[in-house]
């Protein structure tokens, strides 16, 4: 009895014989019509994945594979942000299928990044949050970033400082402020994610933020905020009155 990977792997030369292959029910056509006429909520998450996979593997029922991906990675975002090698190794997947999913994540990141870079960050806060949520919410490790801004609050550098815990070893106040001065930044926004999912700040998050803010005040660099990104949303330390 062949295993699931043999039955569904996109590289399997037997797939056309195994698969019903002809889409006799017109399922794909109906899916396309719903996508084009029904708005952004017309397709369920697994159907979005299914539609993307349909382009990579023309003659196969992709619904079981799409459902299995959602079950494994937890959400649409989890699938699209999954590591390419992990996607390829998933039963039923392969290089073409993984590429069909990864290109969407690339396109979304470029779109939201362009919006952030073209307007003052302070005046387009939701675009900034969207950019960070797309890029960081589903990371499985903690990442620290510093967004450096010029006098017009335009982004001049998105600096990935470290992967790891937020402490002075990862994000030293003096180094952060000196970097700002070196590149001509007058303000900055600190960002890191919580892989646990909760975006609530820890005592260490608050302490390191205030140490950097104090160092910035001495040298004329403003710390606008510290954003913490989680799977369920984000928290602004400034909005909480913690800066």
Digit-coded pLDDT (tens) for 42-76: 889 999 999 899 888 877 888 999 999 999 998 88
User: Sheet holding 222-230: strands in order across?
Assistant: 155-163, 143-149, 187-193, 222-230, 233-236
Query: Rounded distance, CA 83 to CA 112, Å?
Result: 20
> Residue 194's closest CA among 150, 118, 138, 239?
138
Cβ proximity of 143 and 128 under 8 Å: no
pLDDT tens-digit profile of 139-184? 778 889 999 999 999 999 999 888 765 544 467 888 999 999 999 9
Higher pLDDT, 91 or 21: 91
- The reply to whether CATH 3.40.140.10 applies to domain 120-236 is yes
Give the pLDDT score at 22.
Answer: 52
- Joined tokens for residue 119: 């307007």
Confidence of residue 6 (pLDDT cuts 50, 70, 90): very low
Indicate if the pLDDT at residue 115 is higher than 70. Answer: yes
Q: Tokens for 120?
A: 């003052």
Question: Which pLDDT belongs to residue 165?
Answer: 56
Q: How confident is the model at residue 23 (pLDDT cuts 50, 70, 90)?
A: low
Task: Provide mean pLDDT across the span 186-208.
Answer: 89
Mean pLDDT within 203-228? 93
- pLDDT tier at 29 (50, 70, 90 boundaries)? confident
Give dist(CA 210, CA 242) in Å, integer.
8
Whether 201 shows a pLDDT value over 70: the answer reads: yes
Helix (H) or strand (E) holding 27: helix 27-37
Provide the pLDDT for residue 4.
40
For the chain, percent of residues with pLDDT exceeding 90 = 42
Name the token pair of 53.
């996979």
Asked if the model's pLDDT at residue 10 lies above 60, the reply is no
pLDDT of residue 170: 63
Q: What integer pLDDT is reported at residue 217 of this predicted model?
A: 93
Give the pLDDT confidence score for residue 239 in this predicted structure.
92
pLDDT at 12: 52
Query: Could you give the CA distance from residue 116 to residue 153 in angstroms, rounded to a whole number?
Result: 11
Domain boundaries defined on the chain:
4-108, 120-236
* DSSP structure class, residue 200: P
Q: Is 172 exposed, middle or buried (0-12, 13-18, 19+ CB in 10 A)?
A: middle
């Amino acid at each position: 009895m062949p295993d699931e990977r043999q039955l569904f792997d996109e590289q399997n030369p037997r797939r056309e014989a195994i698969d019903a292959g002809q889409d006799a029910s017109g399922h794909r056509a109906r899916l396309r019509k719903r996508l084009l006429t029904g708005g952004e909520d017309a397709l369920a998450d697994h159907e979005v994945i299914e539609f993307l996979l349909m382009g990579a593997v023309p003659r196969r029922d992709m619904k079981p594979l799409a459902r299995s991906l959602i079950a494994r990675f937890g959400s649409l975002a989890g699938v699209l942000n999954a590591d390419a090698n992990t996607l390829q190794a998933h039963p039923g997947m392969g290089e073409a299928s993984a590429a069909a999913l990864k290109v969407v994540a690339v396109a979304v990141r470029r779109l939201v990044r362009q919006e952030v870079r073209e307007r003052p960050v302070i005046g387009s806060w939701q675009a900034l949050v969207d950019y960070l949520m797309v890029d960081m919410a589903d990371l499985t490790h903690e990442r620290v970033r510093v967004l450096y801004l010029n006098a017009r609050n335009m982004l001049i550098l998105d600096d990935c400082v470290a992967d790891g815990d937020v402490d002075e070893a990862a994000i030293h106040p003096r180094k952060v402020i000196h970097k700002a001065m070196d590149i001509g930044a007058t303000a900055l926004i600190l960002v890191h994610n919580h892989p646990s999912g909760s975006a609530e700040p820890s005592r260490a998050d608050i302490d390191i933020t205030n140490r950097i803010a104090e160092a910035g005040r001495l040298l004329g660099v403003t710390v606008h905020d510290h954003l913490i990104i989680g799977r369920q949303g984000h928290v602004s330390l400034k909005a909480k009155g913690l800066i």
